[in-house]
A and B are shown apart, each in its own frame.
Chain A
Amino acid sequence: MQERKNTAEFLERVQAHQDIIHKVCFVFGRVPADRDDLAQEVLLQLWRSYPAFDERAAFSTWMYRVALNTAITFRRKLKTHAEDAPEPWVDGAQLACAELSDDLKTLYLAIGRLSAVEKAIIMQWLDERSYENIADTVGISVKNVSVRLVRIRKRLAQLIMEAKQK
């Protein structure tokens, strides 16, 4: 009975913030199958770790940590690493992506060109997480986050410009 209550409570909390899972999987997975695998793995990791979640951080911050750690350390199938894998929104199997606004398509295209660590940092900045949160999630100092964000933002702006010119 208690377990069922916990499950219901967990699902309710995850559902309230599940855009975090979708965004992380969309940014880190290059093909639909890869993204589905990743989403499932993130959810499983959240569920397994939930009993140890001590409410010291916000639930969404905790979800971000699990999702990013899982996305970056998850071993993918070798074929999904192919550099010529299609961008998500031009993949015919992902029709729903056609609904993305032009700005978001450009943004995702630019983020897709960043390294895994840069992606992890910029995503949290876009979601207006504090520098302390970002530092804690990535494992670097707050000062380092600030320095890196200047660099990553500059690069992202450059990549957005390039994407728009295409």
Chain B
Amino acid sequence: MNDIDLERYKAAWKSENHFGRQALSADEMNRILERESKTITRQFRTSLLMDIVLKGIAAVTLVGLLFLFRGNSTVGLMNAVVLSFTLFLLFVQWKTLQDVPRPTLATESLHFCLREMIRFYRERFLRALYVAAVSGSLVFYIGVLYYSWFKYSGIRPLDVDDYVVFIGGLLLAFAINAIAQRWQAAFHMKELEYCLQEIDAESLSRQQLREQRFRRIKASLMWAVWAMLGMLVLAYLIAR
């Protein structure tokens, strides 16, 4: 009974020419071919490039700060540490940019594409996301020091409230950047994982799925912990 009904709908599906009437002309297609792709890897590449430029500018301005605060050994040391950290993050982002996977949508199965996309999210996207979020704190840090230089020609005597505001600003700048992007990515990643689990339903045990999820959470936590440690070291240097 079900099959007979479905054959009728299948015939309707095959014979329907509604979409033929909506067909795009060659000119319309040509215009589309000139646009930018919106795939996640493409957007990722663009945002990586933007972050590299931003961190590059931050590194140059940090060199400026090194020069301006050359008379203050504590701030000088702090700037040197932040500059080294920035250069290291620049290198990490550059390496990530070199490793952005090529799309395989046209040559591989859906199963393969989903697996690659999830791997890309876990191994590259999340790491790059936390590294990029540090840019917010860097901008805040540099902004405060330049403000301080132009306003007071150095660092004025600080009390506890100043430290709280400064450290809070650094953490907030990082958290706002990281959380907003993480939320977007988590939603898409969950969808992809759901599809992959469905395809693998008959071959993948629940235990394996749990392990996959555990590995993802562990990787995210590791990067968050590293980023927080970096902030704490910075805070320690400031408060010293």
A binds B: yes
**A72 and B110 contact, Cβ closer than 8 Å, known pairs A100-B16, A139-B199:** yes
Query: Which residues of B lie under 8 Å from residue A87 when comparing CB positions?
Result: none
Tell me whether B231 is interfacial, beta carbon within 8 Å.
no
Tell me whether B73 is interfacial, beta carbon within 8 Å.
no
Size class of the A contact interface (CB-based, 8 Å): 35 or more
Determine, out of B5-13, B49-57, B93-101, the stretch whose residues face the partner at the interface.
B5-13
Tell me whether B165 is interfacial, beta carbon within 8 Å.
no
B106 touching A52, Cβ below 8 Å: yes
Per the 8 Å Cβ criterion, residues 143-166 of A in contact with B are: 144, 153-154, 156-158, 160
A22 touching B22, Cβ below 8 Å: yes
B37 touching A48, Cβ below 8 Å: yes
Tell me whether B152 is interfacial, beta carbon within 8 Å.
no
Tell me whether B38 is interfacial, beta carbon within 8 Å.
yes
**A126 and B10 contact, Cβ closer than 8 Å, known pairs A11-B29, A137-B109:** yes
Tell me whether B20 is interfacial, beta carbon within 8 Å.
yes
User: For chain B, what secondary structure do more than half of its interface residues adopt (helix, strand, loop), or is it mixed?
Assistant: helix
C-beta contact mask, B24-50 vs A, less than 8 Å → 1, else 0? Answer: 101001101101011110010000000
A47 touching B109, Cβ below 8 Å: no
Cα separation A111 to B109 with both chains bound (whole Å)? 22
Identify B33's interface contact among A47, A99, A116, A156, CB under 8 A: A47
Size class of the B contact interface (CB-based, 8 Å): 35 or more
A139 touching B109, Cβ below 8 Å: yes
Query: Which residues of A lie under 8 Å from residue B23 when comparing CB positions?
Result: 15, 18-19, 22
Closest Cβ–Cβ distance, residue B140 to chain A (whole Å): 27
A-B contact count (CB 8 A): 163
Q: Which residue of B lies closest to A153 (CB)?
A: B6
Closest Cβ–Cβ distance, residue A27 to chain B (whole Å): 11
User: For chain A, what secondary structure do more than half of its interface residues adopt (helix, strand, loop), or is it mixed?
Assistant: helix
Cα separation A118 to B201 with both chains bound (whole Å)? 12
A139 touching B39, Cβ below 8 Å: no
B106 touching A62, Cβ below 8 Å: yes
Q: Which residue of B lies closest to A20 (CB)?
A: B19
Query: Which residues of A lie under 8 Å from residue B108 when comparing CB positions?
Result: 69, 139
A66 touching B106, Cβ below 8 Å: yes
Identify B38's interface contact among A41, A97, A144, CB under 8 A: A41
Closest Cβ–Cβ distance, residue B181 to chain A (whole Å): 12
Query: Which residues of B lie under 8 Å from residue A75 when comparing CB positions?
Result: 38-40, 43, 188
Query: Which residues of A lie under 8 Å from residue B205 when comparing CB positions?
Result: none
Tell me whether B14 is interfacial, beta carbon within 8 Å.
yes
Tell me whether A37 is interfacial, beta carbon within 8 Å.
yes
**A45 and B105 contact, Cβ closer than 8 Å, known pairs A15-B23, A160-B5:** yes
Cα separation A104 to B37 with both chains bound (whole Å)? 31
Per the 8 Å Cβ criterion, residues 42-82 of A in contact with B are: 43-49, 52-53, 62, 65-66, 68-70, 72-75, 78, 81
Q: Which residue of B lies closest to A50 (CB)?
A: B106
Determine, out of B80-88, B112-120, B127-135, B210-218, the stretch whose residues face the partner at the interface.
B112-120
Tell me whether A130 is interfacial, beta carbon within 8 Å.
no
Query: Which residues of A lie under 8 Å from residue B39 when comparing CB positions?
Result: 41, 45, 70, 73-75
A-B contact pairs, 17 of them (CB 8 A): A19-B23, A22-B19, A41-B37, A43-B29, A44-B32, A48-B37, A52-B106, A65-B106, A69-B106, A69-B108, A72-B195, A73-B39, A107-B12, A137-B110, A139-B110, A139-B111, A153-B2
Additional 12 contacts, C-beta under 8 A, given A44-B33, A104-B12: A19-B23, A41-B37, A41-B39, A44-B37, A49-B103, A69-B106, A73-B117, A100-B18, A107-B13, A115-B195, A137-B110, A158-B2
Mark B residues whose CB is within 8 Å of A.
1-3, 5-6, 8-10, 12-14, 16, 18-24, 26, 29-30, 32-33, 35, 37-40, 43, 103, 105-114, 117, 184, 187-188, 191-192, 194-195, 198-199, 202
